[in-house]
Amino acid sequence: MITELIDITFPSVCLACGAKPKPICDGCIPEFAVKQDHQGVYYAAELTAELTAIFGALKDRNRTALIAPLARGLRPVLQQAVLDCKPTLLVCPPSSKKNFRKRGLNPALNLFRAANTSKIALTDSALAHSFQPLDQRGLNWPGRQRNALGRYRAEPRANRVLLVDDVMTTGATLRAATDALEKAGAEVVGKCVLARRFANSAHSQLK
């Protein structure tokens, strides 16, 4: 909260290039567009070094003023995913207890709240952790798969679910969420993220 007020009230440096006077300057706002990968996942941008720095500031330094410019880029992608997939519920994976205590919020949930212009409910409570996972950022591809295996459980509910998250790297988190929801009787009709990391990308992993 304090850092958000500082960002709004006093000039601060751009988290991408260090220039003044906003948390992210106009020249460093990533180029967003409505895209789909070969798996049908909707996304707005490939994960770049700049986006990695922005997500790191949002998640680890609580720079919540970054949510608004990111949400503007996400909004058209989410609108297209909702239009195409026709979900009855938007589900965001929940933060781990450790991360929620540290941040006081679920950054991905807040990002999608700011971007959601539909009347479809958005929640991170449809899923619960079966165990407290390790931080995905410190794990390689096999480690991420093992860390996500059986990660979530869900209460039985028959919804058409659009899964949403801020970043997709290996896809392990969203696959674990899909498994839990489908076992509980939901139909996962699509996935939507802000940033997508591809296997040949040299950029840092976040999730």
Task: Tell me whether residue 173 is in a domain.
Answer: yes
State the pLDDT at residue 144.
Answer: 53
Q: Note the maximum CA span of the chain.
A: 50
Task: Tell me whether residue 14 is in a domain.
Answer: no
Q: How many CA atoms lie within 13 A of 121 on its CB side?
A: 9
Q: Give the whole-angstrom CA distance, residue 112 versus residue 203.
A: 23
Question: How sure is the predictor about 79, in pLDDT bands with cuts at 50, 70 and 90?
Answer: very high
Task: Tell me whether residue 93 is in a domain.
Answer: yes
What confidence tens digit (pLDDT) does each residue in 112-133 have?
999 999 999 999 999 998 866 5
Task: Tell me whether residue 18 is in a domain.
Answer: no
Task: Tell me whether residue 207 is in a domain.
Answer: no
The number of folded domains in the chain is: 1
State the pLDDT at residue 202.
Answer: 44
State the pLDDT at residue 160.
Answer: 97
The whole domain housing 118 covers 30-196
- As a whole number, mean pLDDT of residues 51-64 equals 86
Question: How sure is the predictor about 5, in pLDDT bands with cuts at 50, 70 and 90?
Answer: very low
3-state secondary structure string across the chain = CHHHHHHHHCCCCCCCCCCCCCCCCHHHCCCCCCEECCCCCEEEEECCHHHHHHHHHHHHCCCHHHHHHHHHHHHHHHHHHHHHHCCCEEECCCCCHHHHHHHCCCHHHHHHHHHCCCCCCEECCCEEECCCCCCHHHCCHHHHHHHHCCCEEECCCCCEEEEEEEEECCCHHHHHHHHHHHHCCCEEEEEEEEEECCCCCCCCCCC
Which of 81-90, 108-117, 153-162, 185-194 is the least confident region?
153-162
User: Which CATH number covers residue 78?
Assistant: 3.40.50
State the pLDDT at residue 170.
Answer: 86
Task: Tell me whether residue 201 is in a domain.
Answer: no
What letters, b where the CB count within 10 A reaches 16 and e where it falls short, cover 93-115? bbbbeebeeebeebbbbbbbebb
Task: Tell me whether residue 95 is in a domain.
Answer: yes
State the pLDDT at residue 97.
Answer: 81
Task: Tell me whether residue 11 is in a domain.
Answer: no
Question: How sure is the predictor about 46, in pLDDT bands with cuts at 50, 70 and 90?
Answer: very high
